[in-house]
Amino acid sequence: VLMANENFEKVVRTNLFGAFYVSKFLAKKMLLKRSGCIVNMASLAGQTGNMGQVNYAASKAGLIAMTKTMAAELGPRGIRVNAVSPGFIETEMIQNIPQLEAFKKQIPLGRFGTVDEVAGVVSFLCSADAAYVNGHTLSVNGGLFPS
């Protein structure tokens, strides 16, 4: 709430509007084939909130709601829409978090996830093995926040 309006708007424009515009572009192409799969990149913060990141958490929560709505709208036309919601993944994004080791201790699997593990989930959601999965947000967080 104490965040500058510009900071809030910038993150929402990037994370939510950006995903909307890309999905809209892709959906137009997929509608012609009546087939396709869109996977949005959500976040644990969109499911739980996160102190000091009202912009990020709100943008990712909006993305989760958008995923469900687009799945309902596009599903009858052969297009599946899902999201992946990573928790703490070993990337530069988490390196400057002061309590990083304390967070790791809270994860039931006792470690951070890897980029390859997130990519594997995205790959699954795009595969024939997930042909009946639509409108779902799949959490990849080592059990930190069970869904």
User: Which one, of 72, 68, 73, 69, lies nearest residue 85 by Cα?
Assistant: 68
The residue from 47, 56, 84, 130 that is catalytic is: 56
What does the DSSP 8-state code read for residue 98?
T
Residue 56 annotated to the active site: yes
Torsion of CA 127, 40, 90, 111, to 10 degrees: -70
Angle at 88 between CA 6 and CA 3, to 5 degrees: 20
Write out the H or E segment, with its range, that includes residue 103: helix 100-106
Active-site positions read 56
